[in-house]
Amino acid sequence: MRPLWIKAALILAVVWLLAGSAIWWSKAHKPTPQSVAAYVESVSVEGRSSAERTQEMEKIARQLNALTYAQRREVRLNRKLDRFFRALNPEEQNRFLDLTLPEGFKQMMEALNKMRPEERKRFVNRALKDLQEQEGMPPEGLRDQDQNAQKIIDQGLKSFYSDASAETKMDLAPLIEQFQHNLQGLR
């Protein structure tokens, strides 16, 4: 009987060790805003083959999509992807947006849906004030690339209409109207 207990204890210890190692490895390899920024800064797609460029672009997109909404926002606000994105040709930029926009907008709508109504109203009021101040100017980052701008707008609206709760849609309606007004003034 004793050897059976020893074997069972050893097997259980090995299983726990493997599970613990897997959890540690998973956490150690989960992207963070800092690790994504460091990776993007360490990679240059210039002068590389199309296949290598695609591979790097897809790796960065996977890392970006693994971030939470707040982490993605941190990367975006710190403009860590700008140099990388500008180094891509228009077709690659389009593909990168296809890989990253749906998840980003989905996360944003989830975050807005989870906000308390008063938080969401403060967010809308801040964003509305910013849009009103920028009336007649294209949104930051959308000034040079009409095709990319249109893709971002289309994906954002698609996500808004499909992922936002009814309450969120009501709260964001003034923001959408001001955004549309600003865009019409640019045409």
* Residue ranges per structural domain of the chain: 30-88, 97-187
pLDDT score, position 58: 93
- End-to-end Cα spacing for the chain: 84
pLDDT, tens digit (0-9, with 9 covering 90-100), for 124-177: 888 888 878 876 665 555 554 567 777 888 888 888 888 888 998 888 888 888
Q: Given the structure tokens 């930029």, which residue do they identify?
A: 93
pLDDT score, position 187: 52
With residue 80 as reference, give the H or E element that holds it. none
pLDDT score, position 95: 92
pLDDT score, position 140: 54
pLDDT score, position 5: 74
- Hey, how many other C-beta atoms are within 10 angstroms of the C-beta on 109? 22
Q: Is 96 left (phi over 0), alpha (psi -120 to 50) or beta?
A: alpha
The stretches in the chain having pLDDT less than 50 are 144
Q: Using CA atoms, how far apart are residues 53 and 46, in angstroms rounded to an integer?
A: 8
Is the pTM of the predicted complex or chain greater than 0.75?
A: no
pLDDT score, position 62: 93
